[in-house]
């Protein structure tokens, strides 16, 4: 017999009653513990919309205002310290204030900023990046991951003399390239979407768009959309089909280039035509880069006739070039990158088995040092929009974890950084398990709907 709307409503209310109640209590506790952050939030609202200039940094009821950080510890303006398992959404790979990077930045400062000409720092860093990432024969710097992806897509359209792009539904490639829902701010490229990890659909769509398709842009592991690894058959299908139709394959490795010594494309042994980079590769400063096949990137060569022009006042800014180079050359060496990947895998497996023992509908997905929690009964294989109830669970667990001194992303993303120790990992796992156990019945009741 089908349920009436009223009986569904009252069942929903009953099953979320305890969750709502727990969330209200957690919000109250958080608000009373963070009066300075709350005031800072209220004041900043006068000039910044919602006190925010970077959408991802907002979480309800208001984010804590951060004061300083060192290693993998962060402090807010109310005097609380947190273990940093956010790692600045992967940009904070080196932790905060790595001494080698700090020394390199101070040295660079002494030589002067914004010199207005090429310096040896960009050439030195470009050479290291080209050696490190197998698909990058030639490259260019810019200032953010968003810019790198815009330039990669525009280059692909110019190179192929085609118009359309194909993206993964639910993916994120930057502030104006957001494909989770419909963003009115997106660049109006003619855009097609496919579901992540659906090889059959990918092949069909690439063939159907045919000679109009300039590029497919894809993260080999979806980052912001839930740390969901791409299945190798899926990625290989896209590689093969784009080659057949003459479209370019762009791997957005803004986050995933931290996986192993050669980035995720190197680890998977797939050769995209263009790779985009960002985040940690700026050594903690603003950064973006794109590179790939020499015959594509060489179109920017200003000594050639009809070269593509790509200016950018801060493309070669000395601080990002120096910090980025020192980080990759001296800290995140190929050896460290390989062992850091293994360390991440081991941490995820440990946490996963403890989560499994809880018997709750929770999954942990990811690769290496990047992972994400999902409150669902099945392991997600493509990005999805969380339901309002899942949002509430994420909020409850996040606020309670902050209460226990653990800092990670509201949406469940956890990123390791180099200074995170085994003891810190253990403390994080224990806090998470304790929190989930405490709210076991609220979660199970609410997710039964
Ligand atoms: C996969 C991916 N691409 C691109 C970007 C955009 O980089 P940026 O924030 O430096 O513009 C992000 C940022 O989170 C990202 O995760």
Q: Do 316 and 211 sit in the same domain of this protein? A: yes
For the chain, first and last CA: distance in Å?
17
pLDDT higher than 60, residue 267: yes
Helix axes 388-403, 422-438, angle to 10 degrees: 130
Q: Please check whether residue 278 lies inside any domain of the structure.
A: yes
For the CA of 89, the closest atom of ligand 1 is: 14
CATH number for position 405: 3.90.1150.10
For 120-153, how does the pLDDT look when each residue is reduced to its tens digit (9 = 90+)?
999 999 999 999 999 999 999 999 999 999 999 9
Q: Please check whether residue 154 lies inside any domain of the structure.
A: yes
Q: 84 vs 76, 199, 257, 402, CA distance in Å? A: 12, 37, 20, 10
Distance 226 CA to ligand 1 centre (A): 14
Q: Do 163 and 248 sit in the same domain of this protein? A: yes
d(CA 444, CA 424): 28
pLDDT higher than 60, residue 297: yes
pLDDT higher than 50, residue 160: yes
For the CA of 149, the closest atom of ligand 1 is: 4
d(CA 280, CA 48): 26
Distance 144 CA to ligand 1 centre (A): 7
The enclosing H or E element of 55 equals: none
Name residues contacting ligand 1 (CB within 6 A): 89, 144-146, 149, 172-174, 219, 223-224, 252, 254-255, 278, 288
**Among 301, 316, 331, residue at a domain's last position:** 331
* Confidence band for 13, pLDDT divided at 50, 70 and 90: low
**Among 331, 351, 366, residue at a domain's last position:** 331
* Confidence band for 10, pLDDT divided at 50, 70 and 90: low
Q: Which two tokens stand for residue 253?
A: 């490795």
Three-state SS at 12: helix
For 186-218, how does the pLDDT look when each residue is reduced to its tens digit (9 = 90+)?
999 999 999 999 999 999 999 999 999 999 999
d(CA 449, CA 102): 51
Distance 224 CA to ligand 1 centre (A): 9
Q: Do 250 and 392 sit in the same domain of this protein? A: no
* Confidence band for 15, pLDDT divided at 50, 70 and 90: confident
pLDDT higher than 60, residue 382: yes
Determine if the pTM surpasses 0.85: yes
Cis bond upstream, residue 61 (ω within 30): yes
Please answer whether residues 296 and 274 qualify as being in contact, where contact means their C-beta atoms are separated by less than 8 angstroms. yes
Distance 189 CA to ligand 1 centre (A): 18
Residue 12: per-residue pLDDT: 55
Q: Do 46 and 139 sit in the same domain of this protein? A: no
Q: Do 296 and 352 sit in the same domain of this protein? A: no
d(CA 220, CA 296): 21
Q: Do 132 and 234 sit in the same domain of this protein? A: yes
Three-state SS at 75: strand
Averaged over 25-42, what is the pLDDT? Answer: 98
* Confidence band for 1, pLDDT divided at 50, 70 and 90: very low
Query: What is the sign of the dihedral through the CA atoms of 356, 379, 377 and 384?
Result: positive
Q: 262 vs 123, 129, 257, CA distance in Å? A: 19, 10, 7
Q: Do 72 and 135 sit in the same domain of this protein? A: no
Q: Please check whether residue 259 lies inside any domain of the structure.
A: yes
Q: Do 304 and 380 sit in the same domain of this protein? A: no
Q: Please check whether residue 422 lies inside any domain of the structure.
A: yes
Q: Please check whether residue 23 lies inside any domain of the structure.
A: no
Residue 3: per-residue pLDDT: 43
Based on the number of CB atoms within 10 Å of its own CB, is 129 exposed (0-12), middle (13-18) or buried (19 or more)?
A: buried
Q: Do 299 and 188 sit in the same domain of this protein? A: yes
178 DSSP 8-state letter: B
**Among 304, 331, 358, residue at a domain's last position:** 331
Distance 336 CA to ligand 1 centre (A): 23
Please answer whether residues 83 and 406 qualify as being in contact, where contact means their C-beta atoms are separated by less than 8 angstroms. yes
Within 8 A by CB and 6+ apart from 144, the residues are: 174, 278, 286, 287, 288
Q: Do 401 and 316 sit in the same domain of this protein? A: no
Q: Of 346, 375, 383, whose CA–CA distance to 446 is shortest?
A: 375
Distance 348 CA to ligand 1 centre (A): 23
For 407-444, how does the pLDDT look when each residue is reduced to its tens digit (9 = 90+)?
999 999 999 999 999 999 999 999 999 999 999 999 99
d(CA 229, CA 272): 17
Number of domains in the chain: 2
Residue 14: per-residue pLDDT: 72
Q: Please check whether residue 267 lies inside any domain of the structure.
A: yes
Which of 53, 142, 255 should be mutated for ligand 1, with most atoms under 8 A from CB? Answer: 255
pLDDT higher than 90, residue 61: yes
Please answer whether residues 449 and 15 qualify as being in contact, where contact means their C-beta atoms are separated by less than 8 angstroms. yes
The enclosing H or E element of 18 equals: helix 5-33
Q: Do 320 and 236 sit in the same domain of this protein? A: yes
Averaged over 367-379, what is the pLDDT? Answer: 97
Q: Please check whether residue 5 lies inside any domain of the structure.
A: no
CATH number for position 176: 3.40.640.10
Range of the domain at 292: 99-331
Q: Do 413 and 292 sit in the same domain of this protein? A: no
Q: Which two tokens stand for residue 427?
A: 């403390």
Which of 230, 279, 281, 287 should be mutated for ligand 1, with most atoms under 8 A from CB? Answer: 279
Distance 12 CA to ligand 1 centre (A): 37
Q: Please check whether residue 52 lies inside any domain of the structure.
A: yes
């Amino acid at each position: 017999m089908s349920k009436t709307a009223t009986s569904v409503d009252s069942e929903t209310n009953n099953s979320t009653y305890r969750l709502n109640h727990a969330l209200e209590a957690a919000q109250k506790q958080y608000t009373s513990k963070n009066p300075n952050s709350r005031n800072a939030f209220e004041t900043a609202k006068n000039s910044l919309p919602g006190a925010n200039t970077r959408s991802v940094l907002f979480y309800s009821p208001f984010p804590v205002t951060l004061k300083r950080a060192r290693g993998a510890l962060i402090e807010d303006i109310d005097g609380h310290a947190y273990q940093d398992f956010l790692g600045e959404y992967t940009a904070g790979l080196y932790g905060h204030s790595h001494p080698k990077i700090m020394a390199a930045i101070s040295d660079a400062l002494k030589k002067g900023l914004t010199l207005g000409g090429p310096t040896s720092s960009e050439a030195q860093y470009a050479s290291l990046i080209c050696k490190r990432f197998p698909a990058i024969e030639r490259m260019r710097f810019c200032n953010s991951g968003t810019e790198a992806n815009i330039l990669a897509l525009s280059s692909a359209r110019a190179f192929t003399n085609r118009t359309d792009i194909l993206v993964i539904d639910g993916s994120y490639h930057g502030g104006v390239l957001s494909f989770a829902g419909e963003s009115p701010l997106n660049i109006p490229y003619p855009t097609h979407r496919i579901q992540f990890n659906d090889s059959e659909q990918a092949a069909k769509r690439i063939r159907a768009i045919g000679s109009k398709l300039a590029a497919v842009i894809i993260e080999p592991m979806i980052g912001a959309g839930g740390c969901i690894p791409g299945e190798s058959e899926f990625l290989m299908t896209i590689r093969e089909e784009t080659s057949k139709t003459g479209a370019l394959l762009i791997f957005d490795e803004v986050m995933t280039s931290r996986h192993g010594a050669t980035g995720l494309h190197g680890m998977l042994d797939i050769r995209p035509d263009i790779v985009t980079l960002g985040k940690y590769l700026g050594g903690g400063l603003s950064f973006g880069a794109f590179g790939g096949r020499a015959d594509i990137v060489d179109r920017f060569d200003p000594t050639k006739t009809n070269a593509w022009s790509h200016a950018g006042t801060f493309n070669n800014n000395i601080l990002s070039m120096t910090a980025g180079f020192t980080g990759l050359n001296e800290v995140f060496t190929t050896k460290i990158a390989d062992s850091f990947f293994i360390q991440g895998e081991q941490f995820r497996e440990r946490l996963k088995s403890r989560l499994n023992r809880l018997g709750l509908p929770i999954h942990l997905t990811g690769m290496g040092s990047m992972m994400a929690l999902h409150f669902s009964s099945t392991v997600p294989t493509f990005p999805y929009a969380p339901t309002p109830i899942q949002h509430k669970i994420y909020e409850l667990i996040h606020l309670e974890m902050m209460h226990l001194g653990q800092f990670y992303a509201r949406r469940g993303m956890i990123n390791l950084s180099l200074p995170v120790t085994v003891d810190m990992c253990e403390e994080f796992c224990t806090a998470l398990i304790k929190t989930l156990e405490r709210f076991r019945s609220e979660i199970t009741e609410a997710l039964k709907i």
